[in-house]
Chain A
Amino acid sequence: MEHNNRTLLEFRNLVTEFRTENETIKAVNDISFTINKGETVGVVGESGSGKSVTALSAMRLIPNPPGIIASGEILFHNKTGQIIDLTKLPENEMRRYRGNEIAMIFQEPMTSLNPVYTCGNQVMEAIRLHQKLGASAAKARTIDLFREVMLPEPEHIFSKYPHQISGGQKQRVMIAMAMSCQPSILVADEPTTALDVTVQKTILDLMLKLQNEHDMGIMFITHDLGVIAELADKVVVMYKGKIVEQGSVLEIFSNPQHPYTKGLLACRPPLNRRLHWLPTVSDFMTTDETGNVRESDRTVLQVTEQLTLTGEERRRQHEVLYAKKPILQLRNVKTWFSKKKNIFGKSLDYTKAVDDVSFDVYPGETLGLVGESGCGKTTLGRTILRLIEPMSGQIIYKDQDLLSLSPSVMRALRKEMQIIFQDPYSSLNPRITIGDALMEPMRVHKILNNDKARKEKVIELLHRVNMNETHFYRYPHEFSGGQRQRICIARALALNPQFIICDESVSALDVSVQAQVLNLLNELKKEFGFTYIFISHDLSVVKFMCDRMVVMNQGVIEEMGDADEICSNPKTDYTRRLISAIPKGELEDIRASMARKRMRHEAV
């Protein structure tokens, strides 16, 4: 292993285990890699690959019991030049490094800040602890930090509570907290996964800027290879606790060796071509019962080319599609929420979540609704199903105005119109078995005569979403995120709907799992002839899924038209911003960013 004065953190044959009474799981299994000063190392892998455990091992924050660092070393070169094995440090000495020399940013900015203390207070705490500053000096330093992470009105944010600021701002506060003692190494565990693509871009830019200014080492953990393309110098790919491949970012992107890496590279929907099927990890490798990996020898390019849909095919499809009569027509729909009321309950001021929106949806079409969080796309989706009542407008579904229907007629119509929600973790009741959860809507709408027939149908549906009858009596907690989302899809299918709204249905999933779920949705559409409205903040996903898309901003339609056309030729600045925020992972971009970095280094 290389040794020079730039080395900061070395993992040497690290093994971290989770020991329970019945079994020992090696969450991290014999990994070795190095992080240097001023270097960003991207650690990539799907959930459960051991990447977060690696980070927590370095911080010595693994929940114990059951987690324990079983063997190996984590060597840290501290500010005074000593080399310390973090795994052997007693807790009270370890504490001096945490937050001071090694800082960490977590995945969920929403829950990672303590709700009962102000943002300023929480950042100050670390400064006062490690730098022994007085309250006013610490406050001044905190406000400086807030300015450095480009928070608007730093003095104002200082006294705000976490729930009063947005997700992106919270993550900036977290970064400010991590930067507060000028750590030599920053561990970022999926810092942008919970954020919109546009916010993600600003956070990534910020991290890059801070790294340059402070010559920090960054360990960046993500499930999405695309995210780190322009940020990382080195990439470590983890799979089932082991490192399957590591190398410079250019090597990994231009010539991936391991099939898993190829799968990760290919599964993010590309912007520049139209695929009718997303490649997944299983296109490149298969794992047999004993856990052995068998590779196929195809390259990423070969696979994607095979799956590309030509413009001619697409045109023919659309001719058929748009010749039909629209299944759903929205006319001047307005959903306003009152912001201020006078004492008689009359609204004085409104938040215009959806403001005068009109469009048509054709049978068999997938229409995309895209925009940043807060643009009104989710409200619109729920308004269409009348889960939220609009102020005015018409929603015409198959020649009936939904808004004029009585609740009982509407209820009957609901079985034709289903919605799949964003969070598969909270949209399934933890105390109801999968089978019951799927049979319940069928009972409500009196589909099939008895539970026996319904059970058969449910098992058929489970098979349809690539699960099986053994899952019928299980509870939601026994399944992974991707499986749960497939269960939610099966639940929507249970009522034989014709029209399905997918509200950020894949945003909470890993890119590799996301690809599988997207493929499943397309497959089902082909089989049952569904019409989808697909809501997402990620323009690349919308582009892959949809025939046409509607770009929304602050409750109004920015732009509407053919998905490919909008992506290749955006008309408004807002759309351009959404497109440029998508991590593309193109080789040219990586080369350009590497060149930029080198130039900056030479300048220093």
Chain B
Amino acid sequence: MVKFVLRKLLYGFLVLFGVITVVFVLFNVLPGDPALMMVGQRTDKASIDAINKDLGRDKPLFTQYIMYLNDLSFISVHETQNTDHHLYLDQRKYGDPTVLFTVGTKAVVFKAPYFRRSYQNRRPVSEIISETLPETIVLALAAMIFASVIGIALGIVCAVRKNSWIDRTVFVFASLGMAGPSFFIALIISYIFGFLLTDYTGLSNIGSLFTTPDFGTEEYLDLKNLILPAITLGIRPLALIIQLMRSSMLEVLSQDYVRTARAKGLSYYSVLIKHAMKNAMNPVVTSISGWFAGLMAGAAFVETVFNWKGIGYEVVHALQSYDLPVVMGTTLIFSTCFVLINIAVDITYGFLDPRVRLA
């Protein structure tokens, strides 16, 4: 098991390395000059050169790539004396790293990954991410819990009551949920429940996890703001999970071992819950995890509509202003989430189905 997880982690690491490379190449061949965007009105050559030097853009592309890798790695090599060197261990960049050992003027240090600073407001990208990522995780998690719990339950009901009115009704709504584009549904839901019916629902059409009151500075946790975005974000996975659970359950119910379980004298519901459901869950778990990672990356629309200060909201803004470090940083974070979630799924599989369990 430990070996299995370690191997998965190694693969995950290789995947991330690939992603970093692709992201780097992609954003460096894109047209546009960040230095120009940063200086704003002052277009004198000196300031542009200074900025380019600071960003390392005066170096060859390969050196820039090495710099980028070195910045992202937990363990990195730096120059300690020469402040002009492109690998200079700058406290302003790397904070207070732990020096592992030094060779001459070079030091090998252990530090947090440095995602560089936003072109726009000069804030460290890691700070932006650590501020917005939890909001998105909470949103995606809430959406997924909503979709899984309701979806699995409805899927089972539909399978058991196949072709009844309830099955057909759920089918119609599931199809609508699959077909509706998320930005459209987001607008509709936010308009109806957050504006038209706001007196009854008590919900607002915009808002984040934390709200700053009109008077005062203390932020407070405002969970009710989570309801509408989470439902909106969860509608599509919900529709998918219902369909998947229904068909998976129908297939399992026709299996021989279900008949064996009934021949034992078990009641219909214990056959359903104990014997059928565990077997039917496998494809659903795959899709839940796939969607969860997808939701984190795809929450941008919903976050924008509901003004939810999550990472998707941040990406949309960064893209509009060509804020490369923010876009690159968030892309890496998304990939890391994907990799970690996939490892988690592989481990869950083993619990659900012993046939894929590894020794």
Q: Which of B204-246 contact A (CB under 8 A)?
A: none
Contacts of B268 in A (CB 8 A): 91
> What is the 8 Å Cβ interface bit string for chain B, positions 1-38, against chain A (1 contact, 0 not)?
00000000000000000000000000000000000000
Q: Residue of A at shortest CB range from B260?
A: A112
A111 touches B265 (CB 8 A): no
Q: Which segment, of B92-100, B320-328, B350-358, faces chain A? A: B350-358
Contacts of B267 in A (CB 8 A): 92, 95
Nearest Cβ on chain A to B269's Cβ, whole angstroms? 11
Tell me whether B279 is interfacial, beta carbon within 8 Å. Answer: yes
A125 touches B264 (CB 8 A): yes
A112 touching B256 in the complex, CB below 8 Å, given contacts A161-B354, A163-B355 = yes
Size band of the interface chain A makes with B: 20 to 34
Nearest Cβ on chain B to A117's Cβ, whole angstroms? 8
- B262 touches which of A97, A98, A111, A161 (Cβ 8 Å): A98
- The complex places the Cα of A113 from the Cα of B256 at a distance, in Å, of 8
Tell me whether A151 is interfacial, beta carbon within 8 Å. Answer: no
- The complex places the Cα of A168 from the Cα of B317 at a distance, in Å, of 64
Tell me whether A100 is interfacial, beta carbon within 8 Å. Answer: yes
Q: Residue of B at shortest CB range from A60?
A: B262
Q: Residue of B at shortest CB range from A178?
A: B263
Tell me whether A129 is interfacial, beta carbon within 8 Å. Answer: yes
Tell me whether A115 is interfacial, beta carbon within 8 Å. Answer: yes
A96 touches B279 (CB 8 A): no
Tell me whether B130 is interfacial, beta carbon within 8 Å. Answer: no
Contacts of A106 in B (CB 8 A): 256, 259-260, 263
- The complex places the Cα of A106 from the Cα of B255 at a distance, in Å, of 12
Tell me whether B51 is interfacial, beta carbon within 8 Å. Answer: no
Tell me whether B257 is interfacial, beta carbon within 8 Å. Answer: yes
Which secondary structure dominates chain B's binding surface? Answer: helix
B263 touches A98 (CB 8 A): yes
Tell me whether B57 is interfacial, beta carbon within 8 Å. Answer: no
- B275 touches which of A91, A114, A130 (Cβ 8 Å): A114
Tell me whether A59 is interfacial, beta carbon within 8 Å. Answer: yes
A115 touching B265 in the complex, CB below 8 Å, given contacts A61-B259, A106-B256, A106-B260 = no
Contacts of B266 in A (CB 8 A): 95, 99, 125, 129
- The complex places the Cα of A125 from the Cα of B106 at a distance, in Å, of 66
B355 touches A100 (CB 8 A): no
Tell me whether A103 is interfacial, beta carbon within 8 Å. Answer: yes
B255, B264, B267, B275 interface centre (most CB from chain A within 10 Å): B264
Contacts of A100 in B (CB 8 A): 265
- The complex places the Cα of A355 from the Cα of B275 at a distance, in Å, of 42
B263 touches A115 (CB 8 A): no
Contacts of B265 in A (CB 8 A): 95-100, 126, 129-130
A112 touches B264 (CB 8 A): no
A111 touching B263 in the complex, CB below 8 Å, given contacts A116-B354, A161-B354, A161-B355 = no
Tell me whether B261 is interfacial, beta carbon within 8 Å. Answer: yes
- The complex places the Cα of A91 from the Cα of B268 at a distance, in Å, of 10
Q: Which of A114-152 contact B (CB under 8 A)?
A: 114-118, 125-126, 129-130
Contacts of A91 in B (CB 8 A): 268
A116 touching B260 in the complex, CB below 8 Å, given contacts A99-B265, A129-B265 = no
Contacts of B123 in A (CB 8 A): none
A114 touches B260 (CB 8 A): yes
Tell me whether A236 is interfacial, beta carbon within 8 Å. Answer: no
Contacts of B59 in A (CB 8 A): none
A99 touching B264 in the complex, CB below 8 Å, given contacts A106-B259, A111-B255, A111-B256 = yes
Q: Which of A83-110 contact B (CB under 8 A)?
A: 91-92, 95-100, 103-104, 106, 108
Tell me whether A361 is interfacial, beta carbon within 8 Å. Answer: no
- The complex places the Cα of A117 from the Cα of B354 at a distance, in Å, of 8
Contacts of A163 in B (CB 8 A): 354-355
Tell me whether A14 is interfacial, beta carbon within 8 Å. Answer: no
- The complex places the Cα of A478 from the Cα of B352 at a distance, in Å, of 36
Tell me whether A177 is interfacial, beta carbon within 8 Å. Answer: yes
A114 touches B257 (CB 8 A): yes
- The complex places the Cα of A161 from the Cα of B359 at a distance, in Å, of 13
Contacts of A103 in B (CB 8 A): 263
- A61 touches which of B255, B262, B275, B353 (Cβ 8 Å): B262
B264 touches A113 (CB 8 A): no
Tell me whether B278 is interfacial, beta carbon within 8 Å. Answer: yes
A99, A114, A126 interface centre (most CB from chain B within 10 Å): A114
A114 touching B261 in the complex, CB below 8 Å, given contacts A108-B256, A161-B354, A161-B355 = yes
Nearest Cβ on chain A to B258's Cβ, whole angstroms? 8
- B353 touches which of A95, A115, A125, A130 (Cβ 8 Å): A115
A113 touching B257 in the complex, CB below 8 Å, given contacts A163-B354, A163-B355 = yes
A116 touches B263 (CB 8 A): no
Contacts of B262 in A (CB 8 A): 61, 98
B264 touches A98 (CB 8 A): yes
Instruction: Knowing that A96-B265, A100-B265 touch, tell me 11 more A-B residue pairs with CB under 8 angstroms.
Output: A59-B263, A95-B266, A98-B264, A104-B263, A108-B256, A114-B257, A114-B275, A118-B354, A125-B264, A129-B265, A177-B260
Residues of chain B whose beta carbon lies under 8 Å from any beta carbon of chain A: 255-257, 259-268, 275, 278-279, 352-355
Residues of chain A whose beta carbon lies under 8 Å from any beta carbon of chain B: 59, 61, 91-92, 95-100, 103-104, 106, 108, 111-118, 125-126, 129-130, 161, 163, 174, 177
- Can you sample 8 A-B contacts with CB below 8 Å? A98-B263, A98-B264, A100-B265, A113-B260, A114-B279, A115-B257, A125-B261, A126-B264
Q: Which 3 pairs show the lowest CB-CB distances between chains A and B?
A: A99-B265, A98-B265, A99-B264
